Every structure is written in structure tokens, then in C-alpha cells.
Chain A
Amino acid sequence: MTEHDVDDIARDLIALGRTVDVPAPGPGLAAAVLDRLPEAPSAPAVTARARRRRIVVAVAVAVGLLALLATPPVRAAVSDWFGFGGVRVERGGNEAPASDVAPPGVPPSLSLTEAAATVDFPVSAPDALGDPDGVEVSDDRRMVSMSWDTDEEGVLRLDEFDATLDFSVVKVAPDVQHATVNGTDALWFDEPHEVALLEPDGTRVTHSARLAGHTLIWMTDGVTLRLEGDIEQHRAEEIAESAVAVD
């Protein structure tokens, strides 16, 4: 028999919150905040633009270095490519349909903790999404994948792999944009594009190629994370910034 009604519990929790003794903000708070704001009123927009410009340069430098140091099996059809934390981005046109492409969900097979114990790199998961509905580790233990089946955003999928590996993933995209996650460079793919897994020797894993929708790629602690789903860039960045290490 139930002694408590959830409505009573909710009412008492609100009362509990109201009677908590939280210190009032100090009188100097607003002044302290103003002191720390950049001088120029339009500063936020300017710094964001400057940041983007710096990233373009950084990517250009990375392309130059890779061209000098690496001798990857460049495919004849590709005019230009660059590497980003184990992701090989090839610029190429595609005739992908303009509609949104939902990523494949991950079947529930492992817990996050089990997956983290199986691979040699630190696994993290975004707080913003809660516990994933499915988690799996690839057969070669190079990649951890997880997905969430959400009411409002459909299937969201996150793949993680060691960023120091040569290349694990290839993406052929007509365009790529620069993004930031926790102040570090990231890549945003707004258009549907082709994504495929690569063998350690750089050849494509057969059957792995598929179309991907909106995707954000960023790096944390030497790990590359790839978030895909029907979401906008700012939401993807928000989710990315909520990632914390799995115990």
C-alpha cells in the first residue's frame, strides 16, 4: 500500500527548495562581471570571426604537413584532402539526397563501463544525453559506438576512436565548416556525405560506406569523437561540451 502521493512529494520538494538558505549575490557582482567583459561592444562577434580565421590557417598548416610527411594511398578521384584526428576528409562532390539522414542506432550489447574497459583509449559520454540506449565495441577494438533514441531529436550516434591512429574513418564531403568544442578546433559537416571505415593500411572496409547526416567531429584527450544526428551545429557543440570521462 502506498503511503505517499507523488503530488505531495512534489509539493514538499518545492517547499524544501524555497526554504534553502542560499547566500544572496554580493553587491559587487555586476561590477565584477563588467570589469571582465571585453572593451569593444561588438567583441563577441569579432572574436568568433577571428577564431574561425585562425582555424582555417591551422587546417591549412595541417594539410601542408601531412602532404610532406605522409604518403597515403591518395585516391585518383580526390583532388584534395586533409586529416583530422584519425579522420581523413576528402573533398568531393556528391549526389546525396538533400533530406536528413538518420544515423544507424547501436544495438544494446555492453554497458559504458564495460566498453571503456575493453578498449585502450579513454571513453567519454555526453552528460547532456544521459545513458545511451546502445553501446558496442568494434571487433578490432579500435572504435566504441553508442546511440540514443530520443523523442525530439531522433537517433543520435557517437563514435569514438584513438585520434593518434593514422586514419580510421574517411569522409567524402562537398563542404566542411569549422566549429569549436571547449575552445578547441572541431569540424562540422552540415550536408549529407559519405562516410566509411578504413583498415589500418588505409583501404576501405567493404560494406562500411554509408551516407551520414549532420556530423560534428572533435578531439578530447587524444580521442576523436564523431557525433551524428538530426541536430543543428550549436546543439551538437552543446552535447560535445557536456562529454565527461566514463569510469
Chain B
Amino acid sequence: MVYTDSNEGGHPKLDTGPDDNELLARVRRGDRGAYAELVRRHAPMAMRTAALLGAGGEAEDMVQEAFVKAYAALDRFRPGAPFRPWLLRIVANETRNLHRASGRRAARERRSWELAERLLLTPAEDPVEVALSLERREALVRALAMLSPAHRQVVTCRYLLDLDEVESAAVLGWPRGTVKSRLHRALARLREVLDADPQQAPAREAAHDD
């Protein structure tokens, strides 16, 4: 079977493509090893998704649960569709349900953000990564904290997880138009907050220049 992935926007899709569909066809024929291969291939991104959506220390449990549920729901998966966003959608739902015990929606969303915020403020100890100053990182996280939960979710999918718009729509279960419009409003809000942040470098430099 030949399956060509439309390579939207020219981004190389390193972990999706023809092989996912071949593996899924083998899984449907009863090859459990093929499913193990899919797990190994997609687990790192699934972990990032769970963690950035606020799974905290439960990220791996969420991912395990999502893979088990995805297998049970394979008869609802449209053959030929991309596997990754479909899987991440299940991961996102599992993560959302994780904080059910925290009570009402607002409390659950607060809990998710607290855990994601902690993660975002702790950079990986990689000396090669100097793209972002600690000051800038903290300002971005402060600005993210000011967003509504829906705006934060769309920013998390599209930028923090670096998914494209179509994938973000699939993961969040929103129409693509909703992803576009919320992303637009979220970025406008982030700019507003960052412009008003007194600790932000660009604002301070501008003040010097005056």
C-alpha cells in the first residue's frame, strides 16, 4: 500500500507518514508487535502533550492509558487518517479527566495550569539551548498565566507543542476556524500583557532610548 502524506507547510513530519498506516494495517491483522512499535514511536510526543497540558507526575500513566484506549477504539479510527493527532487527542482527554477529583471546571483548569507552569519555568539543563533568556522565559509564562484556559490550550498545542493548525484542531476537537480565531486572539492578548510587563526587556530598552 502506498500512502503519501501531504507535507503541509513544508515541515518534515518525522514521526508520522506512511509507516504509521502500514503499522496500523498490521495491527488490524493481529500483529501486536506493530502496536508496540507505534507506542515507542509516539510515546515521547504523547509525554510532552500530557506534561504541557498539566499531567504533572502522572504523564506516563496518562500516556499508557491513552495507548490502551486508542487500541480499543481502533475500529473508530478512519484508515489513512494521521495517527498522531488522533492519539494526542486521547492523551489530552485523559489529562483533562485526571483532575476530575479537583472539583469544578475552574478548579481543574487551575490545577492543570499550576503543573504546566512549574514545568515551563524549569528549563532543560542543556547548555546548547541559549535561545531564550531566563528573564524572557519567565515573562512568557507570566503572560500565559493571564490567558483564558481555551486560549492557553490553543497556544500550548500550536506553539509549545509545535503542532500545525490542522493537528491542533484535531487534538482540541475544535473546528479549524475556531483554532485560527482563538490563536489570533490569544496572541493579541499575549502581546498586550507582555507590552505592559515592566520587567520585559524590550519595554525597558525602549524607555532608555527615550
Residues of A within 8 A of B (CB): 1-6, 9-10, 12-26, 29-34, 36-38, 41-45, 47-48, 127-131, 150-153, 234, 238-239, 241-242, 244-247
Contact = CB atoms under 8 A, between A and B. Distances in A.
B156 to A, nearest CB: 8
A13 B150 contact: no
Contacts of A238: 173
Nearest to A17: B160
Contacts of A246: 105
B140 A151 contact: no
B23 interface: no
Interface in B24-80: 29-32, 35-37, 39-40, 43-44, 46-48, 51-52, 59-60, 63-64, 67-68, 71-76
Contacts, number: 176
Nearest to A150: B175
Given A20-B119, A22-B119, A29 B63 contact: yes
Contacts of A12: 132, 136, 140
Given A23-B59, A43-B72, A44-B72, 15 more contacts: A5-B191, A9-B187, A12-B136, A16-B120, A19-B123, A19-B131, A20-B124, A23-B47, A25-B63, A30-B36, A34-B36, A37-B35, A127-B173, A150-B175, A247-B106
Given A2-B191, A14-B159, A36 B44 contact: no
Interface residues of B, number: 72
Contacts of B43: 25, 29-30
Contacts of A44: 71-75
B123 A32 contact: no
23 contacts: A2-B191, A10-B187, A12-B140, A13-B159, A14-B160, A15-B131, A16-B141, A17-B52, A19-B123, A19-B131, A20-B122, A20-B123, A21-B125, A22-B47, A25-B63, A33-B68, A37-B35, A41-B29, A45-B75, A47-B72, A150-B178, A153-B175, A242-B173
B124 A6 contact: no
A128 B173 contact: yes
Contacts of A130: 150, 174, 178, 182
Residue of A1, A42, A44, A129 with highest tally of chain B CB at under 10 A: A44
A151 B181 CA distance: 11
Interface of B: 29-32, 35-37, 39-40, 43-44, 46-48, 51-52, 59-60, 63-64, 67-68, 71-76, 93, 96, 104-106, 108, 119-120, 122-126, 129, 131-132, 136-137, 140-141, 150, 155, 159-162, 172-178, 182, 187-188, 190-191, 194-195, 200, 202-203, 206
Contacts of B206: 1, 3
Say what secondary structure dominates the interface of chain B. helix
A234 B162 CA distance: 27
Contact of A13 (B60, B75, B123, B140): B140
B60 A4 contact: no
A152 B129 CA distance: 40
B122 A4 contact: no
Contacts of B32: 34, 37, 41
Contacts of A150: 175, 177-178
B47 A6 contact: no
B122 A151 contact: no
Contact of B159 (A10, A34, A131): A10
Given A26-B60, A48-B75, A16 B104 contact: no
Residue of B175, B176, B202, B206 with highest tally of chain A CB at under 10 A: B175
Contacts of B93: 241-242
